[in-house]
Structure 1
């Protein structure tokens, strides 16, 4: 079954009032339909360019609410989308049932065992805060406002990734509601096939209501940013690529290229400038960190240099991701390598002269991510050395008249991303599901995008599992779940 076979009817059948009334009684959280107070707020998330338009929303407060909602959806023939924070929205539902899990935000740390348990709506900032007093840290990403579950199910490349691997590698157990409305407690022993498929296979196998995972013995970091601009920019790109071949696994880093608009609300140091941000997170000593970054500082004068020792609870200051919801589209490529000429080509295409603003991020992978990990999960393309991410802001739909203008802006952004990714085609292995942040379900090449997340064998295995556990394709909106039947086509690279 290709992705185009999965579209909802343009005029879905109305909900059965009696069944809807029964659902309201069964669940603790709110049940909302279009026109209800709170409907628009509940369906909105971090991604403002693409919003769910469900026929019904269930604001789940507990696992029993999720079970009731999935059973209702199956009985009514409604596909199910899941949203906690909305950071990873890739395919929006038009009709169907939206499970909003943000009320399920419990977090518990077992310091003696070195583990944490997070419910479906918890965010990483909560886990960091709970773990820090014990000298422990989760394998979180760069933003504390991102949801724990979705990030982990997609693999999870964080500030400790080269040292400790993907977040999915540390999962000990997961509670999963499958399409038949059953709540299952999964471990590597109880159901190894489904458990491992979940870790890197994403929400397409059901709804995770809670997860237990290991924590790392990290209380502090040496980190921050080196920022270059002007005459040092090209040299900084070359130096960074050369430098990544020399650093130990205890050092995780990324490069961001940002052409800042000339806007009065931006700091004077950023306004109208094209800058390269080198982000550093090192678990060793500050003295050794200073020695390791010396080749980068040798590039020349920096716009800023704030590398210092910090408590892990301040790790979000390394990347300084935006915390306010905004509209954007994105794409990415996992790469086996990269040379400076190709990176300079990407920079030239996406820099100040580009037809649309484009934030470029190059993550240095490898280290502990290259191995199978303790869970032996389904994270794709572990042999990738870099992840190249492209993100462009878009107009917020409805904020200004002219739907044609919004469509044109999206088309411009996608053409720009395609041209930039073509520059790295010789090294391209596939895509990371966690970095598919736009509405990829509406792309003409959407099935190709889905198949690029895993190698062909893993894709067929996951698709077969989804067909077996969800023959009606209830959970069709996660980007890695869109193709429910095994595909015999080659995986594009």
Structure 2
């Protein structure tokens, strides 16, 4: 099928810029435009608009309104809440402009920019952003959901805390620049409220000086999981805010992309990022380094453009099923329970069982209030399975069991960026926010999208 077989789509295509495009099912380019990183979530829109400009986005939103179609937005597809069935999918991956202002220490990015582009643009100026662990994650989606940085989190807080302005196309198709001065309530909701207010076409945010970075990962044999987890838990309470850390039990595939010493093994991966001199960093991490014999130790002085090596997240598209929970505490009993259930007696080989340490600025209120919620928890439990569709139900059920087994220590909430892909229920979405924040966000969405155009 082509746009000529569906006259309204042809009308829209004529409104787009020379860099934009519209695709119907069956068109060359449709599958590529609707695809994303997490291939477990398959969008099947009636129309894909590959937007190259803010004008393309406005045209797509107006078209959806004229034809009473729902709108879903995707840049990289790392964290879709639910699959789009029908409607219009606006693909912003072509909007890749990045501008760094070293004097103001700011970056301005288009809606399709990925973190590695910002990292590479900021590094020559010895500046850094509150980016995530993966270089392929989209900047805008990550930031709208809060943005938990494993490098600058403890010193600077969430990425959303440092947004200065947002260019947004609202449900009426109008392009607006939203700031604390122009639309304070909407600006509050966009920073942490994730989706549902419109289509973000660009964003400006603060950057930070980064004179030193000492970081990397230490991989221990899986049989030492209990010992290393206890050592890590005891160690992190003594670490300064300049040091951000997490720990994960990984079941690595026997793939050529995995370094030979780790290939096909279960390992414990301690990740560290220290914003100070290497000598101080080495002294600080000595206790956890000594927890067990390491298979691989990559921790050392690290250039900022290589920061993705700390977590070494996969970059190729995968079918990923996720679950998360914030923990109010992680005592020794909870560590043992996690190892008992998720590692030693695991019925299903969950690919990643991770605990992130949340401290410092991550647990303080920002200087400019926003919708990023649940800042009180000191730990985040994150589970992920790379699995074929027929194996997915078993993985999802076992992830739920892990969280249930740790129920005494969970808060019943998670972060908006870690809401499970595929579960778009209102009850599930509400776990990202306390009731007063959730209700305020719902009211804002009704104000700015009264007909519920945006999914």
TM-score range, shorter chain: over 0.9
The unaligned stretches of length 5 or more in structure 2 are none
**Contact 1:137–1:219 under 8 Å retained in 2:** no
Matched, 1:393 2:386: yes
**Contact 1:342–1:423 under 8 Å retained in 2:** no
Q: 1:358 aligns with which of 329, 343, 351?
A: 351
Alignment of structure 1 residues 83-102 onto 2, 5 Å: 83-102=74-93
User: Which whole-Å CA distance do the structure 1 matches of 2:252 and 2:435 have between them?
Assistant: 39
**Contact 1:223–1:318 under 8 Å retained in 2:** yes
Matched, 1:218 2:210: yes
Q: 2:300 aligns with which of 304, 308, 313?
A: 308
Matched, 1:285 2:277: yes
Matched, 1:19 2:11: no
1:426 counterpart residue number = 408
1:367 counterpart residue number = 360
Alignment of structure 1 residues 63-142 onto 2, 5 Å: 63-142=54-133
Report how far residue 212 of structure 1 moved.
Answer: 0.3
Q: Deviations over 1:310-365 (max 9, x none)?
A: 11111111111101001011010112221233233223333374324331111111
Report how far residue 154 of structure 1 moved.
Answer: 0.5
SS at match of 1:203: coil
User: Which whole-Å CA distance do the structure 1 matches of 2:290 and 2:280 have between them?
Assistant: 16
Report how far residue 230 of structure 1 moved.
Answer: 4.8
Report how far residue 410 of structure 1 moved.
Answer: 2.1
User: Which whole-Å CA distance do the structure 2 matches of 1:248 and 1:273 have between them?
Assistant: 32
Matched, 1:410 2:392: yes
User: Which whole-Å CA distance do the structure 2 matches of 1:348 and 1:261 have between them?
Assistant: 22
How many residues align? The count is: 448
User: Which whole-Å CA distance do the structure 1 matches of 2:138 and 2:257 have between them?
Assistant: 28
**TM-score (structure 2 length as normaliser):** 0.95
Mean Cα deviation higher: 175-184 or 110-119: 175-184
Distance 1:58 1:265, change over 3 A: closer
User: Which whole-Å CA distance do the structure 2 matches of 1:278 and 1:415 have between them?
Assistant: 26
User: Which whole-Å CA distance do the structure 1 matches of 2:297 and 2:129 have between them?
Assistant: 26
SS at match of 2:429: helix
User: Which whole-Å CA distance do the structure 2 matches of 1:37 and 1:300 have between them?
Assistant: 53
Q: 1:380 aligns with which of 373, 376, 396?
A: 373
Distance 1:209 1:428, change over 3 A: same
SS at match of 1:325: coil
**Contact 1:219–1:311 under 8 Å retained in 2:** no
**Contact 1:253–1:280 under 8 Å retained in 2:** yes
SS at match of 1:205: coil
User: Which whole-Å CA distance do the structure 1 matches of 2:35 and 2:311 have between them?
Assistant: 25
**TM-score (structure 1 length as normaliser):** 0.87
1:57 counterpart residue number = 48
The unaligned stretches of length 5 or more in structure 1 are 1-13, 396-405, 477-493
User: Which whole-Å CA distance do the structure 1 matches of 2:223 and 2:204 have between them?
Assistant: 48
User: Which whole-Å CA distance do the structure 1 matches of 2:293 and 2:22 have between them?
Assistant: 57
SS at match of 1:347: helix
SS at match of 1:225: strand
Report how far residue 60 of structure 1 moved.
Answer: 0.3
